[in-house]
């Protein structure tokens, strides 16, 4: 049964939506989960579709392991969309180009160059045409979100996660903003949602947050915020993805809290200073920078209290079929104990609904 989706069809406003939908289903929209399986008849895929239909899940995350063939991807995405037709799920992937691609030539998808190469060889207008072809192909498969563009600056040539793979367009913020805008416009043309990443800036870092704790106190510069400032002011930013980065000057007073769990960064800088009022999504909350320092319960509660709207779990470290349900239970338990926490869930739900209304 589509228990809550039917209530959304005739909503006159987001406020009425929040009052009409049970808290459980508002909280469910905040969860995006990775999965096992690569065909529509996989048990894990069917289970996800059931969670989407019940409103206990807001979306799914693809990794390469989920891509057996383009035909299978299209069939799985059709199943996910059919499960929640009135509030379409975030069906997400990382398809930047270069080495960061879930859809590859091995399954017949046309690959493109990485960001650095695109910027070196093409004007922003030419880049937009390249991205438009890629975005159209992604949309044709049924995806609704591409986790890009990279808004990091190519400022540290020894960077292990950005520069090493040519993922940033330039060390110049204005150049990055121009190519980010081209990427976003191309995806909007295809009916897709994008996510600027990795706030507040991973390009100057000297470590990889996939592996563990990353301290950017000595390497980070304020101009790493410039692409976000520009694109937010232009109204181009759909989502902003928060990285797992620590800066001592932005500490919250409770130890070494990374930006993804930090009220100073999310509510303070991103929403307050830069004026972003859209959806804030975490980078994978199973990366070493988070998993090695916080329990699942601490991660979920801290992220929401910091201002996070969407909690992204790849389900590669936990590898539990019921992970989404565990996250939902944590959200509901904290909301029952704290009305302010429940109000944050409601506010996140409203932002998510507004964004999902733009998905085609």
Closest CA to 31 of 87, 77, 89, 83: 89
The residue count for the chain: 360
- The predicted pLDDT at position 211 comes to 62
pLDDT in tens, 62-103: 999 999 999 999 999 999 999 999 999 999 999 999 999 999
- Write b or e for each residue in 172-197: b if 16 or more Cβ atoms lie within 10 A of its Cβ, otherwise e: bbebbbbbbbbbbbbbbebebbbbbb
Distance from the Cα of residue 7 to its chain's centroid: 26
- The predicted pLDDT at position 209 comes to 59
Provide the residue ranges of all domains of the chain, joining segments of one domain with +: 18-356
- The predicted pLDDT at position 210 comes to 64
pLDDT in tens, 103-139: 999 999 999 999 999 999 999 999 999 999 999 999 9
pLDDT in tens, 263-281: 999 999 999 999 999 999 9
- The predicted pLDDT at position 312 comes to 98
Angle between helices 226-233 and 173-189 (to 10 degrees): 40
Tokens of 227: 């692409």
- The predicted pLDDT at position 7 comes to 38
Residue 195 forms beta bridges with which residues? Answer: 239
Residue 95 forms beta bridges with which residues? Answer: 101
pLDDT mean across residues, the chain? 93
Closest CA to 354 of 15, 32, 19, 61: 15
Contact status, residue 270 vs residue 240, Cβ threshold 8 Å: yes
- The predicted pLDDT at position 341 comes to 98
Q: Count CB neighbours of 347 within 10 A.
A: 15
Q: Which residues are known to be catalytic?
A: 210, 283
Q: What is the DSSP letter of 243?
A: P
Could you tell me which residues come within 8 angstroms of residue 109 by beta carbon, excluding any fewer than 6 positions away? 70, 101, 103, 137
- The predicted pLDDT at position 120 comes to 98
pLDDT band at residue 251 under the 50/70/90 scheme: confident
Scanning 241-338, the segments in alpha helix (DSSP H) are 263, 288-291, 296-306, 323-337
pLDDT band at residue 300 under the 50/70/90 scheme: very high
pLDDT band at residue 20 under the 50/70/90 scheme: confident
Q: Which sign, positive or negative, has the C-alpha torsion 29, 34, 39, 43?
A: negative
Q: At residue 346, does pLDDT exceed 80?
A: yes
SS3 percent helix, strand, coil of the chain, rounded to 5, is: 45, 10, 40
Q: At residue 208, does pLDDT exceed 50?
A: yes
Mean pLDDT of 254-262: 87
pLDDT band at residue 288 under the 50/70/90 scheme: confident
For domain 18-356, give the CATH superfamily. Glycoside hydrolase, family 3, N-terminal domain (3.20.20.300)
- Percent over 90 (pLDDT), the chain: 87
Residue with tokens 């209530």: 7
């Amino acid at each position: 049964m589509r228990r809550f989706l039917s209530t959304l069809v005739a909503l006159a406003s987001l406020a009425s939506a929040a009052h009409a939908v049970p808290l459980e289903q508002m909280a469910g929209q905040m969860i995006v989960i990775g999965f096992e399986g690569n065909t529509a008849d996989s048990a894990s895929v069917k289970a996800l579709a059931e969670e989407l239909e019940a409103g206990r899940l807001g979306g799914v995350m693809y990794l390469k392991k989920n891509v057996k063939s383009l035909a299978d991807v299209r069939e799985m995405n059709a199943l996910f969309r059919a499960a929640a037709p009135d509030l379409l799920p975030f069906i997400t992937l990382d398809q930047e180009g270069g080495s960061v691609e879930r859809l590859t030539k091995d399954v017949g998808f046309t690959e493109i160059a990485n960001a650095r190469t695109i910027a070196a060889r093409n004007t922003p207008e030419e880049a937009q045409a390249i991205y438009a072809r890629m975005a159209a192909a992604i949309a044709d498969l049924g995806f609704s979100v591409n986790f890009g563009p990279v808004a990091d600056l190519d400022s540290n040539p020894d960077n292990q996660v950005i520069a090493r793979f040519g993922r940033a367009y330039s060390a110049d913020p204005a150049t990055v903003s121009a190519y980010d805008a081209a990427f976003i416009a191309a995806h909007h043309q295809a009916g897709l949602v994008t996510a600027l990443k990795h706030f507040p800036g991973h390009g100057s870092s000297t470590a990889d947050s996939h592996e563990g704790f990353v301290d950017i106190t000595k390497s980070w510069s304020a101009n790493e915020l410039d692409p976000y400032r520009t694109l937010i002011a232009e109204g181009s930013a759909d989502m902003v993805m928060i990285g797992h980065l620590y800066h001592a000057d932005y500490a919250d007073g409770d130890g070494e809290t990374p930006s993804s769990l930090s009220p100073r960064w999310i509510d303070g800088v991103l929403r307050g200073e830069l004026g972003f009022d859209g959806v804030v999504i975490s980078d994978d909350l199973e990366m070493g920078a988070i998993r090695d320092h916080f329990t699942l319960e601490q991660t979920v509660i801290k992220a929401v209290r910091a201002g996070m709207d969407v909690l992204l779990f790849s389900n590669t470290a936990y590898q539990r079929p019921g992970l989404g349900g565990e996250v939902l239970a944590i959200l509901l338990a904290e909301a029952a104990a704290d009305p302010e926490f429940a109000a944050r869930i409601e506010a996140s739900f409203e932002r998510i609904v507004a964004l999902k209304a733009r998905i085609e």
